[in-house]
Amino acid sequence: MPKRGQLLWASVVVFYVALYLSSRQSADALLFGIASGALVSAIALGVVLTHKGSGVVNFASGALAMYIAYVYADLRSSGRIFIPPLPNPLALVEGVAHKAGAHGLKLPHWPTEVSLGGGHWGFLPALLVALAVAVLIGLLLHVLVFRPLRGAPPLAKVVASVGLLVLTQGIVVDRFGTSPIALRAVLPKRGVTLPRSLIVPEDQLLSVAIVLALTLVLWAVYKFTQFGIASRANADNEKSVVLLGHAPNRLAAASWVLSTVLVGLMGILVSTVNTSVDPNTVVLLIVPALAAALIGGFSSFGVTVAAGIAISMGQGLIQRWSLDSWFPHLRGTPLPGIQQLVPVVVIVVVLFARGSALPSRATVSALRMPFAPKPGSARAISVKMAVVAAIGVVLLLTLHPDWRLGIASSAVWAVLAMSLIVVTGFVGQVSLAQMSFAGAAGFALSKVTLHQGLPFPLGPIVAILIATILGVAVSGVALRVRGVDLAIVTFALAVAAENIIFNNPSLAGNNFGANVPPPRLGPAHFGPNDSTGWSLFGYHGDGKIPNPWFGVFCIIVALLAAAVVLNFRRSHSGRLSLAVRSNERATASAGVSVTRVKIVAFSIGALLAGTGGVLSGYLNGSVTTDTFSSTASLTLLVYAYLGGIASVGGAFTTGIVSAGGLAAVATTSWFHLNNSYLILLGGVGVVITVVLNPEGIAGETRKNVKRLGRYLGRGRGASGEIGSRPASTPEPTAVPAPMHRSADAMRGEAEPSGTTA
Amino acid sequence: MAPLLSATAIGVRYGGVVALRNVSLKVEAGSIVGLIGPNGAGKTTLLDAITGFARCSGRIEMDGSVISDTVAHRRVHRGLSRTFQSLELFEDLTVRDNLLVSADPGRWWSIFVDVIRPGRRIAEDAVDEALGLLGLAECADSLPPTLSHGQRKLVGVARAMASRPRALLLDEPAAGLDSAESTLFGEELRRLVAARDVGVLLVDHDMGLVLNVCDYIYVLNFGQVIAEGTPASIRQDTDVVAAYLGEQAEGPDAGAIAAARRGDATGRQVVVTPALEPVAGHPASARRPGLNEGSRKPALVVQHLVTGYSGVPVVRDVSLSVSRGEVVALFGPNGAGKTTTLLTISGLVEPISGSIEIEGQECAGVAPHVLARRGLAHVPEDRGIVPSLSVRENLALVRKHNRRQVLGVVTSYFPALEGLLDRRASTLSGGEQQMLAIALALATSPKVLMVDEMSLGLAPVIVERLLPIMRAIANDTDTAVLLVEQHVHLALEMSDRTYVLSHGELVLEGQSADLSSNRELLESSYLGTRAL
């Protein structure tokens, strides 16, 4: 840390001490957040540990803490270990059999738990078994996910860890629901009297003490043992560590185990202090934890823990202040979620200060992305679109209402996915805030239609413009921050937007969200719940909701959006975007303003996200915080990556497999799977996809089709020109991510002799 | 009239390190100016500074107007264009698209036009012209990864040309090309300059190319210009030869080089000098007396090694061996494949074919950390130390239980390190860092020790002190030592045998003593093998 940093630290400490001494109230406020500060610090330590060991910024660090806490809770209450529900291939057989009428057929399922004798378990045995599970999880994560991803592009690692977050959360929600589970306190809750006669519960102080003690142990291990020194060295110069005979894999595995156990332990302890655990709160502590880890430079344990505690204290302080009369109020209630701004501000300031407009020589070409296929000719595209539209309309007019809803949902998700395709797929900037743009448009739509009375085409246009302007504003950050760092910033912004804007009752209405009146243009009523009496060439529908014409509207909008994205990709702007994605320095050296390309991409991305948000508002008849939460942004990235992040075809795949989409309708109506199970499947799917096939489903399908085409071409013999001119029909993965070649081997290409690209 | 491009008193610092100090140069329209210098001299940094990719002090002018404060992409609009050492092509854009990016940088409003009319034609003529100039019309629709290395190099130049620059800065465009391709490239370049009246600043290690095509040459070493002049005068400049071969100013006269070059103009077949006993009176006294080849056990045997990146060979059919107690030097110009060979031996790069044996045990494809445990030590080019750790912690990385013994070995060869144990490695001087790197490797008690470019960025005085230690290590510990060295003169003196790599192939091998007395052979392989 430079001198400036020390100055900043000193001023924070002085400020806190002064506050503590100034009044009893503010002293109380400072200690308000101290227990969660312990957990934030632990999660941040987990992030630092895994980053040291394997170079992964683990967004799921908080989710793992939550998961282990649930393992503990389940052990305490019923003496068993729950097993993640696994996809059962036999369920398919069973489903088909049931459809065919064989209702008696029962095939074996995966076990859902390991019973350890049942009954209520005591604290210590439950803790130890839960930590043993943590060890196992840490090992599995290393072996199954992050070891194969060594040398993979940073985006793949981000997506994998985000997928892990979605997966763990999905498992817990599927199993235990979203409401909190009560936990018995284990640490003494007696009040401890501090100077100025402040009374703080003992367990709060104890959890901080435990984190500090653990930090000290970690510090000593990393300072004095060969394992620790080698791990530190590994983060700095992996090549030399390997050349001295250390196995980097073992170091990485150890750090995954260590970090999982650490966050698990503190997750359990702090949950008992709070006497409850739920699948959301702890997961989102990753934002302040990431802020703390950033301050610690992803390396210093001490600084990280101090920052974690300081940030939490700041958050607690603001939470307390919001009860005061001077605190900014909106319509009688204090502005909610301002405390979320603390980590956001920290993250933005730290990253912006450290960032630069162009990456340095060493960091260039760190980001390798899935291939972005060039779309066919305008005519081919129009034909494809017409076919999709025709099929969609016919299905909408004939199918069961559930399927109509599925088609509409798929179209909405496809539009949302397209926003990520532009930002991430084409320009290579990882945004975890796309659903916030969608939400901004959704809530704006509700406002301008209900309060300003703007009619149909005008209301959504204004709403989408608002989202676009926000996109331009956020792109300002992306100009200096890239890669994983950008993912961190945008995620923090998404959390802030969720808490400050979408949770604001004056904006978002009550718990049921803000109403969105259905779209109506003159006599045409095509809201999903609008009267559905219609007749076309003497054909009448079933008269049920949703109105099929709403589905048609969604398909038209989705195809328009697809046309925009395809044209963007085909045009010179798309060419410049891919150039930026491929190499920012080289793009600048070609005379292109990288700044402009990024701003354009972010605004188009926000425009599309806004469009998706507006459609989603119409579809649900309302906009709610949940729909546009930060977790929703993560889920969107997961599904978009699953579908294929670099092509429009991928967006439609995303639409089909997303929550409420066609695949969901199919699985729920055929196999009676619930929604949380689908999210869980998405999490599993994306992790597997990233590990096996970084191009996503669409990329894989396209490759297979190409391979098939080439095979057929060869089969046709002399006429098969495809096979005979390999140079002109290059394999799309001609820029492979050499997954199993270690990163240092890449770095080793110091001698500019080869095809070092 | 002001020159096309002029840089005056350029200085660049990275942290505390001075990369460039008070460098000035000029490029006139229609001329090719060469910029040469050993590895780490600051050539690429100078290009970065001129094109706006590195912050610098000093003044940069195009046609007399100052562009020092202009951002990188705007300098391109002023007519300044560059290529990169590692090409940095847009790998998932076709060749034509690569060129189009540079031909039309776009405007703020382009996006609105583009979404409605994506197929609009832009600057196609500039692209076609650049493609034609470099003979790339055939592969315009290919993706860069499907092209040969030579073609990729040309695409890099074509992309720079597509912006119709007046000043073109080329960073090692000939690296990795074989000598025929390199000659061809030189001719293309000449033609291009004549056709478009551009000024070219050419950075390259291929001395044959530079001496052939340039009108004027600047020589950079340790961040400063050490010589400038016409190719003829540079060729005779003893400082330049010294900078390249790491010698004192007693280099051979240019006539000898030219003669050697003429003599070797025919081909690149391996020249094997007959195995001779060390010449009496030659300063090879450091070599161990009384050992002949037969009594030495080979510790490292490499046979028919082909290796490279992503399946593209950089090193072709290289065979070499190092016996215990022997010091073997591996020479060759930059880009010859020396580092790649070493990286392959230590397992960091996977070989394409061939075998690598250490003490009779097959090692090709074995994980690097396993090889390290089997007794292979490798000091990489960028020094195998961990900058963020202290010297003591660095030494703690050695997998030995007896810490005292480790310290004993280290301090017996490098007593200077004893006083530095608690300093962070990053704060050590270059020489001290290199000592630490060698000490680390040594402390593992290796059977085979490979040291890559030990003298990189070190002052000659320090190199003179360090290199003999390698000899001592081989003598005392019976370690097989393989050195990749720039300081040919010194390395020849203290090594037993020598291999020379050029363009990825072994071109010369023999007793070091013979090569010392027949240095023209060696220099010709460094300074380009073409007749003048």
* pLDDT digits 0-9 by tens, A182-226: 998 888 888 888 877 778 888 888 999 999 999 999 999 999 999
- Confidence tier at B78 by pLDDT (50, 70, 90): very high
Q: Considering chain A, what percentage of its residues have pLDDT values greater than 90? A: 34
pLDDT above 80 (res A702): no
Size of interface A-B (CB pairs under 8 A): 283
List phi, psi (to 5°) of A536.
-135, 115
Q: Considering chain A, what percentage of its residues have pLDDT values greater than 70? A: 85
**What's residue B292's pLDDT?**
46
Task: Tell the CATH topology of A33-85+111-321.
Answer: ABC transporter involved in vitamin B12 uptake, BtuC (1.10.3470)
Q: Which of B101, B343, B367 sits opposite A576 (nearest CB)?
A: B101
Q: Quick check: B102 and A241 CB within 8 A? A: no
Runs of H (alpha helix) within B230-367: 231-235, 238-245, 254-263, 338-345
Query: Under 8 Å CB-to-CB from A132, ≥6 apart: which residues?
Result: none
**What's residue A700's pLDDT?**
61
The H-or-E segment that residue A181 falls in is strand A181-182
Every domain of chain A and the residues it spans: 33-85+111-321, 402-503+550-615+628-704
Task: Provide the mean pLDDT of chain B.
Answer: 82
Residue B361 and residue B376: Cα distance in Å, rounded?
12
**What's residue A527's pLDDT?**
80
Runs of H (alpha helix) within A644-738: 648-657, 662-671, 675-692, 696-715, 721-724
Residue A496 and residue A491: Cα distance in Å, rounded?
9
**What's residue A756's pLDDT?**
32
Put simply, the chain A residues between 587 and 646 with a CB less than 8 A from any chain B CB are 587-594, 596-597, 600, 604
- Confidence tier at A156 by pLDDT (50, 70, 90): confident
Where are the domain boundaries for CATH 3.40.50.300 in chain B?
Answer: 5-79+165-235, 299-375+447-532
**What's residue A617's pLDDT?**
93
Q: Specify the range with the lowest mean pLDDT, choosing from A305-309, A501-505, A575-579, B4-8.
A: A501-505
ipTM of the complex: 0.79
Residue A342 and residue B214: Cα distance in Å, rounded?
59
Type of residue at B205: H
Section B477-495 average pLDDT: 88
Query: Under 8 Å CB-to-CB from A75, ≥6 apart: which residues?
Result: A81, A116, A121, A125, A126, A129, A130
Task: Provide the mean pLDDT of chain A.
Answer: 82
Section A271-279 average pLDDT: 91
- Confidence tier at A265 by pLDDT (50, 70, 90): very high
Q: What superfamily would CATH give domain B5-79+165-235?
A: P-loop containing nucleotide triphosphate hydrolases (3.40.50.300)
Q: Which of B105, B336, B381 sits opposite A590 (nearest CB)?
A: B105
Q: Is the dihedral of CA B433, B435, B438, B443 positive or negative?
A: negative
Residue B5 and residue B17: Cα distance in Å, rounded?
27
Task: Determine which of A575, A598, A611, A747 to mutate to test the interface with B (most B C-beta atoms within 10 Å).
Answer: A575
pLDDT above 50 (res B440): yes
Section A296-318 average pLDDT: 90
Section A256-267 average pLDDT: 95
Q: Which residues of B touch A376 (CB under 8 A)?
A: none
Most confident of A20-29, A43-52, A190-199: A43-52
Q: Which of A236, A361, A583 sits opposite B388 (nearest CB)?
A: A236
Query: Under 8 Å CB-to-CB from B125, ≥6 apart: which residues?
Result: none
Strand partners, B7: B25, B60
pLDDT above 80 (res A535): no
pLDDT above 60 (res B246): no
Query: How would you classify residue A246: left for phi > 0, otherwise alpha for psi between -120 and 50, otherwise beta?
Result: beta
Runs of H (alpha helix) within B447-487: 460-477
- Closest approach of chain B CAs to the CA of A753, in angstroms? 4
Q: Which of A589, A728, A734 sits opposite B141 (nearest CB)?
A: A728
Q: How far is CA B352 from the centre of its chain?
A: 22
Type of residue at A179: S
Q: Quick check: B119 and A371 CB within 8 A? A: no
Section B227-242 average pLDDT: 83
Q: Residue B240 half-sphere exposure, CB side, CA atoms within 13 Å? A: 27
Instruction: Report which of A523, A558, A519 is spatially closest to residue A393, judged by C-alpha positions.
Output: A558
pLDDT above 80 (res A476): yes
pLDDT above 70 (res A2): no
- Confidence tier at A136 by pLDDT (50, 70, 90): very high
Instruction: Report which of A298, A426, A303 is spatially closest to residue A372, judged by C-alpha positions.
Output: A426
Q: Which residues of A touch B338 (CB under 8 A)?
A: 751
Q: Quick check: B143 and A730 CB within 8 A? A: yes
- Closest approach of chain B CAs to the CA of A184, in angstroms? 45
**What's residue A539's pLDDT?**
67
Q: Which of A248, A587, A745 sits opposite B101 (nearest CB)?
A: A587
- Confidence tier at A598 by pLDDT (50, 70, 90): very high
Section B334-345 average pLDDT: 87
Extended beta strands in B175-311, E state: 199-203, 216-221, 224-229, 271-272, 298-309
Determine how many CB atoms are found less than 10 A away from the CB of residue A540: 11
- Confidence tier at B258 by pLDDT (50, 70, 90): very low
- Closest approach of chain B CAs to the CA of A359, in angstroms? 9
- Confidence tier at A727 by pLDDT (50, 70, 90): very low
Q: Quick check: B339 and A583 CB within 8 A? A: no
Question: pLDDT per residue over B109-144, tens digit each?
Answer: 888 888 888 877 778 888 998 898 888 888 899 888
**What's residue A610's pLDDT?**
96
Q: How far is CA B291 from the centre of its chain?
A: 34
Q: Which residues of B touch A736 (CB under 8 A)?
A: 310
Q: Is the dihedral of CA B165, B168, B169, B170 positive or negative?
A: positive
Q: Quick check: B396 and A229 CB within 8 A? A: yes
**What's residue A348's pLDDT?**
86
**What's residue B320's pLDDT?**
93
**What's residue A8's pLDDT?**
80
Q: Which residue of A has its CA nearest to B389?
A: A233
Q: Which residue of A has its CA nearest to B118?
A: A571
Q: Which residue has the higher pLDDT, B316 or A118?
A: B316
- Give ∠ CA A570-A571-A577 in degrees, rounded to 5: 95
Q: Quick check: A567 and B115 CB within 8 A? A: yes
- Answer for the pair A683, A164: CB distance below 8 angstroms, yes or no: yes
Q: Quick check: B312 and A754 CB within 8 A? A: yes
**What's residue B274's pLDDT?**
38
Q: Quick check: B93 and A727 CB within 8 A? A: no
Residue B87 and residue B73: Cα distance in Å, rounded?
17
The H-or-E segment that residue A590 falls in is none
Question: pLDDT per residue over A85-98, tens digit each?
Answer: 776 667 677 777 77
Kindly state the tokens that stand for B267: 């081909």
Section B427-443 average pLDDT: 88
pLDDT above 80 (res B30): yes
Task: Tell the CATH topology of B299-375+447-532.
Answer: Rossmann fold (3.40.50)
Question: pLDDT per residue over A326-371, tens digit each?
Answer: 777 777 777 777 888 889 888 888 887 777 666 655 443 344 567 7
Please say whether the structural domain A402-503+550-615+628-704 has been given the CATH code 1.10.472: no
Instruction: Report which of A601, A618, A636 is spatially closest to residue A436, judged by C-alpha positions.
Output: A636
**What's residue B13's pLDDT?**
86
Q: Quick check: B105 and A576 CB within 8 A? A: yes
Distances in Å between the alpha carbon of A193 and those of A17, A34, A314?
17, 15, 22
- Answer for the pair A344, A495: CB distance below 8 angstroms, yes or no: yes
Task: Determine which of B363, B369, B370, B376 to mutate to test the interface with A (most A C-beta atoms within 10 Å).
Answer: B369
